[in-house]
Amino acid sequence: MEIAYHVIVLAVAAFSLIKGWKYGFIRQMGGILGLSFGCVVAHLFCRPASDIIADLHIWPIDNIAASFVNDLLGASLVYALTYCTLWCLGRILAEAMSVLSTGVLDSIFGAIICTTKYLIALSIFFNFAVASNPQSVLMKYACYDDGNIVEGVMLIAPYSLGCQSYWDLAHRIQLKEARKISYNLRHTSGVILMDSAPNINLS
């Protein structure tokens, strides 16, 4: 199971490279506009969107991952809406410029753009998976800090969309565990009873 995440990343990267090479740069004009403006708009409206999501109580408010999920979901929705809107408009431009879509450079840039789009989507998925199960193998890979490809992919969405990263969630979990240990040390006779500590909300 541990190697599965690396296989997924490599498979998505290979598929997107081939697809991007085939379609080229010009024919992906809609995706290029959607990607560019989507990231910018997500950075600008991530916080307001996160506040709206929080008010809807989609994720349990007492869950330690609530703030992380609200931030990620808000940024993802803003990005997706902007991307879809600009993609539709860009399709018209792509048709008009289709006569220019020839040559190796067009294919190379097309492969880069397509891979970027797919890896952002995969990064969003991985981050949601970590929020669902912070103790998963995926979180361990992400926190190894050894430059593995899974860690790199998981950082794409936070940097691209301006939302919280899994490091913020991991830090909250560490603080929560540290406070539980501190509580137990103060209220027991040298015996640490992790289950006896209150559920401290740091989200």
For the cut 70, the answer to whether the pLDDT of residue 101 exceeds it is no
Query: Whole-prediction pTM value?
Result: 0.78
Q: Give the integer Cα–Cα distance in Å for 173 and 196.
A: 17
Give the mean model confidence (pLDDT) for residues 176-203: 60
pLDDT at 100: 66
Give the mean model confidence (pLDDT) for residues 170-183: 76
Cα distances from 77 to residues 48, 96, 190, in angstroms, run 12, 29, 48
Per residue in 147-162, pLDDT (tens digit) is: 688 888 988 999 999 8
Total domain count, the chain: 1
For the cut 90, the answer to whether the pLDDT of residue 202 exceeds it is no
Give the range of the structural domain holding residue 126, as residue numbers without chain letter: 4-170
Q: Which segment of 51-60, 165-174, 181-190 scores lowest on mean pLDDT?
A: 181-190
pLDDT at 39: 94
pLDDT at 147: 67
DSSP E strands in the chain: the ranges are none
In a domain, 107, yes or no: yes
Q: Which amino acid is at 130?
A: V
In a domain, 30, yes or no: yes
In a domain, 145, yes or no: yes
Q: By the 8 A CB rule, do 158 and 127 touch?
A: yes
Per residue in 20-33, pLDDT (tens digit) is: 999 888 888 888 89
Q: By the 8 A CB rule, do 51 and 75 touch?
A: no
Give the mean model confidence (pLDDT) for residues 131-137: 81
In a domain, 187, yes or no: no
Q: Of 26, 29, 31, nearest to 103 (Cα)?
A: 26
Q: Give the integer Cα–Cα distance in Å for 64 and 100.
A: 51
In a domain, 124, yes or no: yes
In a domain, 175, yes or no: no
In a domain, 198, yes or no: no
In a domain, 185, yes or no: no
